[in-house]
Each structure stands twice: as C-alpha cells, then as structure tokens.
Structure 1
Amino acid sequence: MKLGINGMGRIGRTFFRVLWQNKALEQLKVINDIMPKTHLIYLLQYDTVRGNLGVKINETAGGIEVNGHTIEVHQHDRPENIPWGKAQVDTVVEATGIFTKKADLEAHLRAGVKRCLLTTSGGTDIPLYIEGVNEADYQKEKIFSIGSCTVNGTAPLVKALQDFSPRSLYVNVIHAYSSRQNILDSYYPELRRTRAAADNIIPLHINLDLSLQRLFPGMKDHISSITSRVPVPCGVLADMTFMLATPPASSAQMVEHLKQKQQQMARIMQVTHDPIVSSDIINDPHSLTIDGEFVQVMDNHVKLMVWFDNEWGFSNRLYDWSNRLNNIE
C-alpha cells in the first residue's frame, strides 16, 4: 500500500502520528499541503495536544525524512496538479476539508491514484462507510467517505441500539473548539463563530443528522443534531437521547446490552464506569466510549453520554481503512 495525504491540518497530522505509532509510516509516500515545508516539519514534530513526536524529522531536497524513510512533499493548491501517479500512490487521503465534492475528488484519480478516501461525509453521491456500521458493504468504489469524527463517534451506537427499534434521536455534540473558530472576537461569515473560542460555549448547526439518516434510513426526518463548542483543545462528549419502540426494562439492562455489543465491536466501542473527564479520553483509539455512569432509561427514552478523542479515534479508523484496502489489493 502506498498512501498520500492531501491536507496536513489536525486530521492529516494526527494520521501521520498514528502511522508512526503503528510502525506503518513506510506506507506514506507523498504529502501535499500549501504550508511551507519548515512549518510542516515543525507542526509534525511538536503538538500541543500530542506532545513531541519522539523522533527527529529532517528536511530533504524533495521532502522530509523520518527514521530513514523519505516522504515526498508538494505544495499544490489543486488536486489535479499533485504528482500522485509519478510516485505510484495507490490511495490518497483527502483531508483538506476543502475538496469535498465528487468532481474535485475525481481530479485525484486523474492525477494517477487508484482511489480517494474522504475524511468528511461529503454529498449523497459519495458512498459513506463507517466502521462498526456498514464497512462490510464496501464495493471497492474509487471514491468514498469514512465520515467525520462525529459520525464515527455516534453511528456505531445507533447501530448497537437497533435491537430496541430506535424511532428518534436528539444529539448535542459537546465538542472541542477547532481551527475554524477565532481565538479572539473577529470576523467570520457565521455570526457565532466570530466569538472567542477559548472564552465561550458556542452552539452551532452541524450536518451530523444528515449523515446518520443516510446510514439509518428508517430514522429519516427523526434525527436532530447540534454542536456546542467548548474551551478545550481536544475531546468530545456527545449527549444522545433516543426514543425507542421497544425499550429495555431498566438502565442496568441497557448497560448489559451495550457491554455485549462492546465485545462485538472491541476496537470501535467500549463502556467505562470510571469517572472520566475530557482530558482522560485523549489518545484513546476507540471511536467512542460510553459513560456507564450516565446510562439512563425513562419510559421509552434512553439518554447516553459518549466520549471520544475527535482526532485520535478518527485517525485510527483511517488506519483501519488503509489496512483493509491493503488486504484488498
């Protein structure tokens, strides 16, 4: 497997670290990002959330070198101009957050890759596959999405509750601030995003409900979602309230059900009874961790609180997909 990454923001750089941790960095052949190479090296080496990479990154004439492995680095602003084919890249991870339409992603194929993996949900014309939900349905499409961190952090739980016939879902994704917010009050097209991220709880609209309805069409028009951005640099607590057609008899019964599902989705989902807080979830590779202390059943409603590291968990799903695609080759 020969990988390329387009876009070295939080997800691109975290995926780089996951590859390094799993001794799989040799798979990465090409990086493309418009930032200067000196800045790329610095941001890969040092990270406020993750710490020092622990190995020296050296600059080369055409890229970077890490522990004897050389990676090409390019700075093209359009997918069609990136020399994927020349480097014989098989799969490109599209992580800019900019090129999310199918027409843009097809440009990667014209540039020489076999397939393009999108790190956000994309449009309905782009197949969506989520680990723990429908990854077995993958049909070897050349362009597909593995969703976002929030889809991966919530969809497996919706899947786990199908035994109770969920009828509706309300989700508030209490989410770390992101680079699309301002550190101080400043202009942004969306009014609430003009406010200082480190000093406010900021509610925003998100499209999580649309992605979940694609995955669970039986719940179409019965899923609602918002996000509340809070002053932490990483970590998510998703507050999920389901209405069930056939609810369990008690909260304890629901916990036992979730523990059984945990055994079936060991890499994806876990249940904890530890009194954790957001910093405790940092660097956890699971897509989601259910807080067992806050499983609440009332009549036909169940409230669940779900933790996840919005960068590390998702980047581990990227790594899972790179392994799956390698086995398909």
Structure 2
Amino acid sequence: MTDAHTPNPSDWSKRIELAEQMIPLIGRLHREKNVVTSIFGRLLVNPSDIEIIKMHRYARRVMERELPLEDTLPVFQTLLELDLGTASIDVARLAVGYKKQGGDLRAYLEEQLADVIGTKDTEVQRDVVLYGFGRIGRLLARILVARETQGRGTRLRAVVVRKKCADDIVKRASLLRRDSIHGAFDGSITIDEDKDIIWANGTPIQMIYANSPEEVDYTAYGIQDAIVVDNTGVWRDRAGLSQHLKSKGASKVLLTAPGKGDIKNIVYGINHTDIEDSDEVLSAASCTTNAITPVLKAIDHRYGVEFGHVETVHSFTNDQNLIDNFHKGERRGRAATLNMVLTSTGAAKAVAKALPEFEGKLTGNAIRVPTPDVSMAVLNLTVKQDVDADEVNNYLRTVSLKSTLRQQINYIKSPEVVSNDFIGSTHAGIVDGLATIATGNHLVLYVWYDNEFGYSNQVIRIVEEIAGTRPRVYPPRRELSELD
C-alpha cells in the first residue's frame, strides 16, 4: 500500500538535483556569514543530498505533509544575498511563512531577519581552550571545529594534557580521528610534530603539555581572554577550578561536570540567562541533569510537579572497571561490561540548582548498564492534576517543535527505536512517547539521551553564551507560556 505522502519515484532525480544545489549554499552561509540553517529545528551541518531530502520529509511531523524542496531552495539563494550576521535560521519555517504571505521573497526575508541584518561588523571571535582530551573533550573539539568560521564565533585554539609517551600527539590525533561510537572525524587531520600542532580541517589546535594550570602561559601561543573548558573532572570546587585563572591568557572556566559549593550549575535553555559577566567559574552540570531538567520544567509549567523519583539507566563510564578490581566507590569495582551496577546519582538534587522550585521534590538512583553510550532517565512524577497520556505527549511534541526548548527536548513515537538510534543526537533529551504512562495524577516519562554527544552540544551552547557568540534563532521560538 502506498503512503499518500510518499513522493512519486519518477521525481527522485529532480529532488536530488535540487538538494545538490542547496549543498554549496548551506556551506557558504556557514563559512561566509556564520549562519547555521535548519529544517524545522534539524541542523543542516555538512549534509549530503539524501540527508537534505530526508529532512524535508521529516517536515510531516510538523505540517502533516512533506516540505517541497522547490519551496526552500529560493530561500537559501536569497539568504546568501543578504548582509547577515551570526544566526541560526530555520529555513523551513521561513519558507512556510512566505508561502502563506506571498509577495516579494527578499522583502519578506528582510522583514523577518531585520534584527540580524547588518550586524556582522559588530561580532567578535573568542578563543577556547580544552583542558583535558577525554571522551567529552574530543567531542567538544569536533563540534568546535565543525562550527568554526572566519573571524567570528568561538575558535578552538589549544588542548592541555599531560604528556604520557614520546608519540603522545600522534595518539591524541588518532583518538580524535577515529571513535568507536561516534565514527570517523568528518574531514582531514594532520600533525605537525615539531610544533605540537594537530591540524583539523584547517584549524590549528596547539597541544600544550603541562601537569597543572599554573604552568601554562596561553599568551605565549597568541591566546588571549580564553574560555577554558575543564573536562578532566579533577577539580569541581571554586578553589580548584580557579587555578585556571592564574594562567596568563585565561579569563573564564567552564567545568563539564556538576560544580560544588556556590558554583552556578548551568543547563542551557533553563538558566543560562543567570550567567553574568562577572562569573569567572561556571559548571555545565551533568549529562543527566541536562537531559531531565528541560522536560521537568515543561511538565511543571503545564501540570505542576509535587514530587518525583528519577531512575537513570546509564551507560558505563570511564571510571568503572572493565573487570572486577578495586574501586573506591561502592559496587563500581565490578566489571562494567558484564553487570548492571546499582549506584547513586546527584542529578535529582542537581535539578534544583537550575530550577530552584524543585528543591526537595526529587529523589534519584542510577543503574549503570553494559552499553558504551546513550542512557535513559525514567521520571516517575506526581503532578497537581489528573493527566492523560495522549495530551501530555501532544504537549511535549509541541514543546519540542515550537518552543524555546526545542534544542533541549526532542520527541519520538516509534515502536522500534532502541538506544543506538540516539547516538549523535544533539538534543539534551528525547521523550519516548510510546512509553508514557498516565494514571490519575501519576505520570511516568521515559527520556533517552546521548550522554556524550547530546551533553557536549549543551556545553558548547554555554561556551557560546559566555563568549557572546551564541547565534540568535530565527524565526523566534515561543515561550512555554505562549503554548498554553
């Protein structure tokens, strides 16, 4: 039986031709104007012709029909003619809006994008340093390299590590080039061993070997006013992390783990507006906190959360043992690839650092399981009113498509998806609609998350916010209150 929305196979060549015309336009918009484009929120980052066609088909989730490539191609072409500044532009929404309004396309786009036209000369570039080069560090490097443009935005300048062997830089480059979970690096990597530089798609990444932050003088490498992203997890309090501020050329520190004490734990999309110019040390919280906090905020806004329990089913991490061996933590000494390991999580309590209204409302535990990436959080909530599963799902689907939380929350309703399907997701969390349970005022939600790549994207969003280089989103998204 033929799907009514399935295109006639005879027009496939035409669709390929249109998609091929878009590829250089997408590249030029990014390279020349620092403009990231998307189709209903799905980013177009070095897409193939087939990926572009699939994204236009994805539009059925939003508008109940496939988006014709003929509608979006003129938008891409006209955007390239405009004097745009840094922005994240949803080409699909502009195409649909223009289709309804009609008239002159350029005039329509100039009206919709008025706030970002002519702003290029006011934009800056900010240096970023990665302190540590483990799982998260290498993914951050991939994202930063992919987003780099000439003269604007964030720029990865250096990586600081301890030298472990004579050919350390060769091994570091190899780990950046090949990843067992996330695949090969998209591009070219070469090494200048004499100068300790890894070249990634034309970006020179200076490898700096040091045993402590105080040893590093970033200005010796031409690095100034740098944001240092500490992904080692060695220090989590203000005293420890402030060591980075003693390095010449460093001005801000962001920790890729929950911060202790009075350090602000930032979940982008939730409390990133709390970042002040005077903040020198910040935390990006944990992957689990990033996954569940946006969903909890959305549910609390609509239904009111009285209390709840968060159970995370989490992939094993580097701090666990491959085989049974001594570990200072309870149960974590047992073989990670052979056991489900019950352990604790601070994510439930950490939610309150981003959403103070959840103080004392959540408990949590974690089960580490024998998978290398992608985790799940089960939110067992008591809310202030009776709820219906379909209504909750429709609301969360709308939030994922139309709200200011669209980059944090995704929604899927498929009977066949499993954890591997979410590797590479840029969202903080993905609600599994088919698993939603609602009985009276009791609600259970299942939220998938790529605890490596999804979290790394959240970290980069904070880096861009600190740097003042975060792209403005067009057309603007709605606040949760506007969805009521």
Structure that is richer in helix per residue: 2
Superposed CA deviations along residues 159-200 of structure 1, whole A, max 9, x for unmatched, are 111221211121111111111111111111123111111111
The 8 Å contact of residues 129 and 145 in structure 1, kept in 2 or not, is answered as: yes
CA distance in 2: counterparts of 1:15 and 1:119, whole angstroms: 10
1:59 counterpart (185, 192, 198): 192
Aligned to 1:7: 132
TM-score computed with the length of structure 2 as normaliser: 0.65
Aligned to 1:256: 394
Aligned to 1:160: 298
Aligned to 2:371: 232
After superposition, residues 197-208 of structure 1 pair within 5 angstroms as 197-208=336-347
Aligned to 1:183: 322
User: Cα 1:89–1:71, aligned 2, differ >3 Å: closer, same or farther?
Assistant: farther
Structure 1 position 267 matched with structure 2 position 392: no
The 8 Å contact of residues 264 and 353 in structure 2, kept in 1 or not, is answered as: no
**Secondary structure of the corresponding residue to residue 315 of structure 1:** helix
Letter of the aligned partner of 1:58 in structure 2? I
Aligned to 1:119: 256
In structure 2, the gaps of 5 or more residues are 1-125, 471-484
Letter of the aligned partner of 1:22 in structure 2? R
The 8 Å contact of residues 155 and 212 in structure 1, kept in 2 or not, is answered as: yes
Cα deviation for residue 29 of structure 1 reads 0.7
Superposed CA deviations along residues 95-144 of structure 1, whole A, max 9, x for unmatched, are 00112110111111121311111111111310122112111222221111
Structure 1 position 281 matched with structure 2 position 422: yes
**Secondary structure of the corresponding residue to residue 199 of structure 2:** strand
User: Cα 1:221–1:126, aligned 2, differ >3 Å: closer, same or farther?
Assistant: same
Structure having the higher Rg = 2
Aligned to 1:100: 236
User: Cα 1:283–1:315, aligned 2, differ >3 Å: closer, same or farther?
Assistant: same
CA distance in 2: counterparts of 1:124 and 1:209, whole angstroms: 16
User: Cα 1:133–1:26, aligned 2, differ >3 Å: closer, same or farther?
Assistant: closer
> Which range moves more in the overlay, 299-308 or 210-219?
210-219
> Which range moves more in the overlay, 140-149 or 81-90?
81-90
After superposition, residues 10-159 of structure 1 pair within 5 angstroms as 10-23=135-148, 27-34=155-162, 35=164, 36-53=168-185, 54-60=187-193, 61-86=195-220, 87-112=223-248, 113-140=250-277, 141-159=279-297
Q: How many residues align?
A: 328
CA distance in 2: counterparts of 1:326 and 1:213, whole angstroms: 26
Structure 1 position 314 matched with structure 2 position 471: no
Identity of aligned pairs, percent?
A: 25
Cα deviation for residue 221 of structure 1 reads 2.4
**Higher RCO by CA contacts (8 Å cutoff, separation 6 or greater):** 1
CA distance in 2: counterparts of 1:191 and 1:267, whole angstroms: 35
The 8 Å contact of residues 30 and 89 in structure 1, kept in 2 or not, is answered as: no
> Which range moves more in the overlay, 49-58 or 213-222?
213-222
Letter of the aligned partner of 1:51 in structure 2? G
CA distance in 2: counterparts of 1:23 and 1:213, whole angstroms: 34
In structure 1, the gaps of 5 or more residues are none
> Which range moves more in the overlay, 223-232 or 313-322?
313-322
The 8 Å contact of residues 170 and 191 in structure 2, kept in 1 or not, is answered as: no
> Which range moves more in the overlay, 277-286 or 27-36?
27-36
Cα deviation for residue 328 of structure 1 reads 6.2
CA distance in 2: counterparts of 1:206 and 1:7, whole angstroms: 23
Cα deviation for residue 146 of structure 1 reads 1.5
User: Cα 1:134–1:26, aligned 2, differ >3 Å: closer, same or farther?
Assistant: closer
Letter of the aligned partner of 2:238 in structure 1? K
**Secondary structure of the corresponding residue to residue 198 of structure 1:** coil
Superposed CA deviations along residues 220-272 of structure 1, whole A, max 9, x for unmatched, are 22211111111111001111111112243x11111122123222122111111
The 8 Å contact of residues 106 and 143 in structure 1, kept in 2 or not, is answered as: yes
CA distance in 1: counterparts of 2:469 and 2:386, whole angstroms: 40
> Which range moves more in the overlay, 287-296 or 35-44?
35-44
Cα deviation for residue 85 of structure 1 reads 3.9
